[in-house]
């Protein structure tokens, strides 16, 4: 039963993704634009760019995800699909979780494909690619799942800004650990501890946020 | 014990009690704050390193403590309200948020005024100050979230959930900021906040903190009364109470 | 006395810290008190209106 539900979900996701008229490109564009704007704000010398790079990559990445998060539930909430989905499902919690993961993958893959471009724009060594990729993936999952939960909580509010204001203060630890990964890997130091820390945080958020999502939706769908 | 507890969470009892307790708390708070002010400004000797600037500690540390205490209290009330469905606890959480935000703001202001003469800058990226700033943003987010709902019941539930998310997140934020801070601080020793406190410097601080907490209790109870009336306007006890007191207040 | 007010040269910082804090506490007191009064009056007016509505 769950399998067929999931099949429907994946089909729906794929249809929405392919019909979105290139909307998946918007976060990618924002990602590049933030990097450009940061860079034109300073004298772009290598050492200065390298010093800024960890923070710029992380801020650009999270802001782009924020753009994608806005569509997490809102469209389906407004046209009633979400209500149907939760009403008819036997295990709504798992369904929600699958959707969060699918959307997360669809959002970060284009951004991560741009990562080499971002690294070279900021004149960092390409050796940071793998560690940064892992850190961005783990850190973005924390951000994404928390963001999905907070979006569910603020569904009835039409202004997308509110969710961002609730979510961004909670991104502080992710940016601290994540930027450190980029910085240390650029200096050739080991970063496995920090990456594990981010993975730990994403497991923590995975265990807590589905409940918040569910509660938020039930409250807003009443 | 159980009866005593239920009297605190039943709205009419809480309303009645709040008035009495608020008056006692307020009296004790004013008395202890005044004594602590005298102790801190006059009796306590100047710090050998920071001179008289260290006296800012007597308002900075109590505000910092209250900003965190208020959040913990708000989250506790939210938890109680969610799990046992005590509507009075939602009222308490509602009124605490702006009060906690004011204490956080006071902590940041006095911290900045302390930082200027000690560090030479209005804003030093000190771990404590940074996490207080994040705390302020979370308080403001909580208030904004509450205001975004039109229905009271939904606002209560969503805000309570958000307060609990904050409880899980705030320690993580706090420790990550501390860790970040120790990375680049290196040799410069933190001058603020850690003067070796002796008893003649310490007692006014302790008393001031107690005074702030009593004050917090008093104003929270006062504001809770209004919130209870407004929330329970359809009940019999509010009707009778308003009928009797109309024109008095 | 002069010495007390000058706070060892830190007068501005010390007195404005204490000033802001006391002002903040007074503000909180007044805000809580007035919020109670405001809510009380709101409920009182609401009830009068509600009674009229029921009478009709």
DSSP string, A95-123: HHHHHHHHHHHHHHHHHHHTHHHHHHHTT
Q: Which helix (H) or strand (E) holds A210?
A: helix A192-221
CB C4 within 8 A of CB C11: no
CA angle centred on B238, ends B237 and B242, rounded to 5°: 120
Residues of B with CB below 8 A from C13's CB?
Answer: 53, 56, 113-114, 116-117
Does B191 have pLDDT greater than 50?
no
d(CA A23, nearest CA chain B) in Å = 28
Q: Which residue in the set A162, A169, A222 is minimally distant from B138, CB to CB? A: A169
CA separation for the pair C11, B199 (Å, rounded): 24
Q: Do B55 and C7 touch (CB under 8 A)?
A: yes
Per-residue confidence in pLDDT tens, chain A, 222 aa: 677 878 888 888 888 777 777 788 899 999 999 999 999 999 888 899 999 999 999 999 999 999 989 888 888 888 888 888 888 777 888 888 888 999 999 999 999 999 999 999 999 999 999 999 999 999 999 999 999 999 999 988 877 789 999 999 999 999 999 999 999 999 988 889 999 999 999 999 999 999 999 899 888 887
Q: Which of B98, B110, B226 has the CB atom closest to C21's CB atom?
A: B110
Query: Looking at the complex, does the CB of residue A170 fall below 8 Å from at least one CB of chain B?
Result: yes
CB contact under 8 A, B158 and A153: yes
Based on the number of CB atoms within 10 Å of its own CB, is A160 exposed (0-12), middle (13-18) or buried (19 or more)? middle
Cross-chain Cβ contact A177/B154 below 8 Å? no
- Rounded to the nearest angstrom, the gap between the alpha carbon of residue A68 and the centroid of all alpha carbons in its chain is 8
Chain B residue whose CA is closest to A156: B149
Dihedral sign of CA atoms C25, B211, B105, B47 in order: positive
pLDDT in the model for residue B73:
95
pLDDT at B222 over 90: yes
For position A43, what pLDDT does the model report? 87
Q: Which of B149, B162, B183 sits opposite A166 (nearest CB)?
A: B162
In this prediction, residue A78 carries a pLDDT of 82
């650009």: which residue's tokens? Answer: A60
Taking the C-alpha atoms of B225, B231, B236 and B242 in order, what is their torsion angle to the nearest 10 degrees?
50
- d(Cα B235, Cα C55) in Å, to the nearest integer? 18
Chain B CB contacts of C37 below 8 Å: 226, 249
C7 vs B99: CB contact, 8 Å cut-off?
no
| Residues β-bridged to residue B51 | B47
- Give the per-residue pLDDT at B247: 60
Q: Check C39 against B227: CB less than 8 A apart.
A: yes
Residue B194: what pLDDT? Answer: 54
Which of B154, B161, B164, B166 is the mutation pick for testing A, counting most A CBs within 10 A? B161
Which B-chain residues 152-191 have CB contacts (< 8 A) with chain A? 154, 157-158, 161-162, 165, 168-169, 172-173, 176-177, 179-180, 183
Picking from B110, B66, A142, B43, the residue whose alpha carbon sits closest to that of residue C13 is B110
Q: What is the mean pLDDT of residues B101-128?
A: 90
**For residue B117, how many other CB atoms are within 10 A of its CB?**
17
C-beta of residue B242 within 8 angstroms of C-beta of residue C44: yes
In angstroms, the CA B61 to CA B71 distance is 16
CB B11 within 8 A of CB B232: yes
Q: Of A108, A206, C6, C33, which Cα lies nearest the Cα of B55?
A: C6
pLDDT score of B14: 86
A188, two tokens = 């050739």
Q: Give C39's contacts in chain B (Cβ within 8 Å).
A: 226-227, 229-230
Contact C44 B246 (CB under 8 A): yes
Q: If you average pLDDT over residues B191-209, what whole number do you get?
A: 75
User: Which one of C2, C24, C26, C54 makes the best mutation probe of the B interface by having the most chain B beta carbons within 10 Å?
Assistant: C24
Name the helix (H) or strand (E) containing B216.
Answer: helix B199-231
Note whether B141 contacts A176, CB cutoff 8 Å: no
Contact yes or no, B with C (3+ CB pairs under 8 Å)? yes
Q: Do B52 and C20 touch (CB under 8 A)?
A: no
| Confidence class for position B190, pLDDT limits 50, 70, 90 | very low
Task: Map tokens 């809510």 to a residue.
Answer: C39
pLDDT band, very low/low/confident/very high, at B118 (cuts 50, 70, 90): confident
Tens digits of per-residue pLDDT, B133-178?
999 999 999 999 999 998 899 999 999 999 999 999 999 999 999 8
Q: Which spans in C1-56 are helix H?
A: 2-6, 11-55
Average pLDDT along chain B = 87
User: Is residue A116 within 8 Å of residue A126, measured between CB atoms?
Assistant: yes
Contact B3, B13 (CB under 8 A): no
DSSP single-letter state for residue C7: G
What subunits make at least 3 CB pairs under 8 angstroms with C? B
Is B179:A176 a contact under the CB 8 Å cutoff? yes
Q: Which residue has the higher pLDDT, B43 or B25?
A: B25
- The answer to whether the Cβ–Cβ distance between A220 and B145 falls below 8 Å is no
User: For residue B25, what pLDDT is reported?
Assistant: 95
């Amino acid at each position: 039963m769950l399998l067929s539900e999931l099949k429907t979900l994946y089909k729906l996701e794929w249809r929405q993704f392919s019909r979105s008229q290139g909307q998946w490109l918007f976060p990618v564009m924002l990602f590049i634009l933030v990097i450009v704007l940061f860079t034109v704000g300073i004298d772009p010398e290598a050492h200065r760019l390298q010093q800024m790079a960890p923070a710029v990559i992380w801020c650009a990445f999270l802001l782009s995800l924020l753009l994608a998060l806005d569509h997490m539930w809102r469209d389906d909430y407004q046209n009633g699909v979400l209500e149907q989905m939760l009403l008819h499902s036997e295990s709504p919690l798992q369904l929600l979780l699958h959707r969060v993961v699918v959307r997360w993958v669809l959002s970060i893959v284009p951004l991560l494909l741009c990562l080499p471009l971002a690294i070279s724009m900021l004149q960092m060594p390409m050796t940071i690619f793998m560690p940064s990729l892992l850190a961005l993936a783990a850190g973005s999952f924390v951000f994404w799942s928390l963001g999905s939960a907070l979006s569910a909580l603020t569904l009835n509010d039409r202004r997308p800004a509110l969710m961002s204001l609730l979510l961004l203060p909670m991104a502080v630890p992710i940016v601290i650990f994540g930027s450190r990964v980029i910085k240390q890997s650029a200096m050739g130091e080991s970063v496995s501890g920090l990456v594990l820390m981010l993975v730990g945080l994403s497991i923590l958020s995975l265990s807590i946020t589905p409940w918040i999502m569910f509660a938020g939706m039930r409250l807003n769908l009443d | 014990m159980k009866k005593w507890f239920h009297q605190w969470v039943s709205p009419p009892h809480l309303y009645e009690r709040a008035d009495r307790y608020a008056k006692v708390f307020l009296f004790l708070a004013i008395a202890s704050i005044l004594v602590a002010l005298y102790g801190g400004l006059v009796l306590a000797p100047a710090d050998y390193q920071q001179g008289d600037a260290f006296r800012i500690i007597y308002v900075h540390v109590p505000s910092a403590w209250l900003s965190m205490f208020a959040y913990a209290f708000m989250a506790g009330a939210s938890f109680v309200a969610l799990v046992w469905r005590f509507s009075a606890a939602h009222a308490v959480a509602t009124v605490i948020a702006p009060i906690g935000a004011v204490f956080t703001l006071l902590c940041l202001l006095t911290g900045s005024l302390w930082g200027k003469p000690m560090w030479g800058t209005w804003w030093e990226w000190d771990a404590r100050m940074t996490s207080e700033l994040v705390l302020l943003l979370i308080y403001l987010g909580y208030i904004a979230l509450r205001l975004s709902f039109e229905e009271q019941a939904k606002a209560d539930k969503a805000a309570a959930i958000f307060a609990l998310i904050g409880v899980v997140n705030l320690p993580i934020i706090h420790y990550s900021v501390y860790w970040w801070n120790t990375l680049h601080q290196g040799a410069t020793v933190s001058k603020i906040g850690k003067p070796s406190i002796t008893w003649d410097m310490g007692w006014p601080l302790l008393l001031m903190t107690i005074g702030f907490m009593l004050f917090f209790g008093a104003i929270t109870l006062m504001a809770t009364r209004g919130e209870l009336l407004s929330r329970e306007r359809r009940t019999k006890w509010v009707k009778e109470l308003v009928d009797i007191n109309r024109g008095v207040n | 006395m002069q010495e007390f007010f000058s706070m060892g040269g830190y007068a501005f910082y010390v007195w404005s810290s204490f000033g802001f804090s006391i002002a903040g506490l007074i503000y909180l007191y007044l805000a809580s008190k007035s919020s109670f009064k405001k809510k009380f009056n709101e409920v009182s007016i609401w009830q009068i209106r509600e009674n009229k509505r029921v009478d009709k």
